[in-house]
Amino acid sequence: MRHVLGVLGVLAAGVLLLVSAAMNWRFGFSLGRTEFDGQIYGAASAAADCLKALVPFFFFAAVRNRVWSQAAASALVWVVVTAYSLTSALGHAALNRFDTSGQRAHQAQSYQDLRGELKKAEEQSGWIPQHRPYETVQSAINGLKTQKAWGNSDQCRSADTKSERTFCQQFHALNAELAAASEGQKAQANIAEIRGKLGATDAKSVSTEADPQAKVLTDLAAAFIPGVTIEHVQMAMTIFIALLLEIGSGFGMYVAFSQWRLYDRQAPAVPATAHAVDITAAAAVAAPVLTPAAVQSKKPRSTANDNRSLEIPLEAKVAPAALAITEVVAEERPAEAKIAEVRSVPAVARQLVPESDTERYYRECVVTQEGDTVTHNDMYLDYCTWCERKKKEPMAQPNFVREFGELGVRKERSKGRTRWVGIALRSQVGQTEAMKPPLYRADAA
């Protein structure tokens, strides 16, 4: 389950990192005067954004190793690249949000304008007097022109008789109806055109608000913060989106990889053999029967400056001690009581921690020698020589000095230089012994 969460976290952080890198590339590309310059700026911006995700690993590793100069440099680099990436993210988010809201506002305004024009055209169409269809009226007028009164009245320009006047009144009424029919045709054509434009617009996709999300958040915020406007909410949302991308892409990988525990050291499992259990149990049984003389003769615990105890293998000490304890138990107690008590003692499982390179170097190359001192530089040079001989990669001098100091070796500062006190290098001891002149006995002749 832990690995599944880690994989999902890495995938999510990777998506955020890709989005942020793409935004940085686009922002950097816009800075170039030519296309080639834009490619250079874009690549540099994307690389800086990827470095932003890697710097947390370097920073916390330097803090863990107490290399404060590297930690400070990592923090400075992270602040610079994050600030640059944040500016590009803010610009990209603001541009897209304002463009989207502007398009929505334009669509909503166009839709409202069309609805207004349709309503106005329908109202104007209602103002036109009642009339018959245009073709019907025109046909009636053409019929009147075929009558005799049309010629006698000189096309209704001079009506002298009553019949001519009646004919001309009928002709003018048909002309008025024809004009109304013509206006009615134009109004219907305009209404049809407006309805066609409205039909081409998806009414479901058109919102009455340019930014519905900002409008809702503004209404909610107004209940707690009087005077907040939709512009304030839009600015806050733009900053929030930019921070989401930058923080998610900057620390997402570090948080996701924490599931694998990159810095943990797993000690090798030690098989619990029957011999080890017997020695542990026998030591636990024999501990109460030690004589006072044995307690008084016990030597004080050696420190890191006393390297003589490290010259004897641990197995060579444990085996004789265990045999001696077993003999004491066998002499003072019956075999049955010893077996019963040994079985009643639980086996103690101990996890052995692997020896570090610093401890191994101390055991192989350093000896305890009162009155001698070794400088930090000489010690580190000898350590590098030892690493080269062992085909190992030497650690940095501050880390080596810190780990060597944790072994308990005393150090002091003298004449502007820090020295380890009470120890000597085996290589220097061997050179000193070789340079001493041989001693001859007086009675050798």
Percent above pLDDT 90 for the chain: 8
Instruction: Give the number of residues written for the chain.
Output: 445
pLDDT for 383:
92
CA dihedral over 422, 362, 365, 439, signed as positive or negative = positive
Question: What's the N-to-C CA distance of the chain in angstroms?
Answer: 84
- Which residues on neighbouring strands pair with residue 413, listed in sequence order? 418
Residue 23 has, within 13 A of its CA and on its CB side, a CA count of 25
Q: What is the pLDDT of residues 144-162, one digit of tens each?
A: 888 888 888 888 888 888 8
Per-residue CA distances from 227 to 209, 214, 230, 334, 402 (Å): 19, 15, 10, 94, 59
- Among 32, 20, 140, residue whose Cα is nearest residue 88: 20
Q: What is the pLDDT of residues 83-108, one digit of tens each?
A: 888 887 777 777 776 667 667 777 77
Confidence of residue 436 (pLDDT cuts 50, 70, 90): low
Q: What is the pLDDT of residues 291-313, one digit of tens each?
A: 443 434 444 444 444 444 444 44
pLDDT for 278:
47
CA distance 359 to 373: 19
Please report the domains of the chain, with CATH numbers, ordered by start residue.
2-107+223-260 (no CATH), 274-344 (no CATH), 357-435 (1.10.10.10)
Q: At what angle do helices 230-257 and 68-127 cross, to 10 degrees?
A: 140
